[in-house]
A and B are shown apart, each in its own frame.
Chain A
């Protein structure tokens, strides 16, 4: 099953089992089935519960807030995560603040197609986790595997807080794996997991970058005799500090790799965490790998040089191992 198919299956299962669930977004209904086809076939199977919206990200999100507060479990689909900036206010000031301000939970899920694909350019490739995570009240998750795409989406709907669900566009069709949707065994929504155990250094990543980290770890082992442990954050807000620090305590060295920008984002947050709470474990300064600090360029050559990849992680690991 492909990553996108796992998302579609989760949506379908949610609609089939929970009458409170509906999906609201641009171009998601009818034969079109969404810009990436995540909802293809669902409006026909679930009439009146997969609804096209106008190009109005603020109102889409506000509608979801109102519906959630009235007992529904709405799922909003932004066409690209980049356009969710239009919904910034409803997300951070409204959904995110509602529980603390009013004592009433706001259980909505907003789906963000994130991440870069060559030729996408500055406004179709962004990673929004830094700005989403800074405001209190939102849960921000980013599944990196096919099974997580399925289970985490269902867990996000079970969560009573507003969840920003970041799904990587490159993984939609390029990641394929078998898993058992019937299996109840999977980590909880907020848990980070070790994707590949190792002893010499830890690579923390999430979303699409997890696959670069796993490839880098394989190369480090095969060609350089370095054993790298890969921690997939899965949930960015709140951070599973325990799993990160446990890995660091085993390896003593850490690289935090992200497709997003460097300033003030989760790479900085994890680096701050290890400086504050993991200092005794550190054998070397933490290393951050992030995108270049410019808008995301259009040309495929510039684009591929804009964010870290397998090789960037390998080079950083070789330097870190020397320390």
Chain B
């Protein structure tokens, strides 16, 4: 399976995973230090392989709707550490301008969708964007613009997710649903979230293709997610990828995750450590090469945090408090 993946892609994925891990850990530390991050910090620890694989397999003309634990996917898709730091630190220089924080960031114009908190709610907008591209003649047969929407074992049970994924199947849009079964919906175990044997079994019920992979194995994620995206791009309709993995952090930095069962912990490794070992063992990277990648990630994140920290925070007296773009609705008229 790994033989078809180019070494350059593996290195690119590893870099994105390390950058995300470094950034998530740095923001968690900033939160723990107090005073700089309001709310909480949310980590994708343990989910970097799956998320990063999606990010690097997408093109800039595609759509990515990340969720809470998708820092790796965001970086793979093109987000910069500086943009992440600006939103996390609530700076006006960031796209969200202090109006949104932490993971609620993105840019509709680049296809990196700014999530709302309600799980499943980002899937139908991705479907709508893909329908819009088809209707406006922007889609090219065999080279379709693809959308990837993230969800987890918790979000799979929302009505919003079900409605949206069913519409995707009916419309046969090139959507890949990226399901991270990380064993816990906040603190709730999977057996209290769903009763099917495996979430991928739901694919047939929607009439879509289901794929399953080990979310702790980055090469498996790259192969599986890459194949699903390629199938969607080729016009084979929506795809569902379900990866088994474990969230190696709390729901947020405020949560010590003490409810995670020791047996469960013993079943899942750390995808970043695992990938580092594999790439070194197979001679794709040297030990020095790994060190250089880690050091580069550290420098990038430190530079981003340092710069964002000097940038302005919002001023309530100067804030534009209008909820609408139309300031003068009395004079809104069709041409």
Residue in A20, A22, A71, A190 whose CB lies within 8 Å of B332: A190
Q: Return the CB mask of B89-132 against A: 1 if under 8 Å, else 0.
A: 00000011101100010111100001010100101111111111
A186, B323: Cα distance in complex, Å = 26
Q: Which residues of B contact A202 (CB under 8 A)?
A: none
Stretch of B161-169, B209-217, B239-247 lying at the A interface: B161-169
Q: Is the CB–CB distance between A54 and B167 below 8 Å?
A: yes
Q: Is the CB–CB distance between A90 and B329 below 8 Å?
A: no
Residue in A54, A90, A97, A186 whose CB lies within 8 Å of B170: A54
| CB-nearest residue of chain A to B164 | A59
Stretch of A28-36, A61-69, A117-125 lying at the B interface: A61-69
Also in contact, A62 and B125, with CB within 8 A (given A19-B136, A102-B108, A137-B323)? yes
Also in contact, A99 and B123, with CB within 8 A (given A54-B167, A159-B329)? no
Q: Is the CB–CB distance between B136 and A93 below 8 Å?
A: no
Is B196 at the interface (CB under 8 A from chain A)? no
Is A320 at the interface (CB under 8 A from chain B)? no
Chain A interface residue bracket vs B:
35 or more
- Shortest CB–CB separation between residue B229 and chain A, in angstroms? 19
Is A136 at the interface (CB under 8 A from chain B)? yes
Stretch of A149-157, A207-215, A252-260 lying at the B interface: A149-157
Residue in B100, B130, B131, B324 whose CB lies within 8 Å of A161: B324
| CB-nearest residue of chain B to A99 | B325
Q: Which residues of A contact B329 (CB under 8 A)?
A: 139, 159, 161, 188-190, 235, 238
Q: Which residues of A contact B135 (CB under 8 A)?
A: 22, 48-49, 67, 72
- Shortest CB–CB separation between residue B151 and chain A, in angstroms? 14
Q: Is the CB–CB distance between B131 and A63 below 8 Å?
A: yes
Identify 10 residue pairs between A and B in the complex whose beta-carbon atoms are under 8 Å apart, listed by A's number. Answer: A62-B164, A66-B127, A94-B125, A99-B323, A99-B324, A100-B99, A101-B99, A136-B323, A155-B334, A161-B326
Q: Which residues of B contact A (CB under 8 A)?
A: 95-97, 99-100, 104, 106-109, 114, 116, 118, 121, 123-133, 135-136, 159-160, 163-164, 166-167, 170, 322-326, 328-335
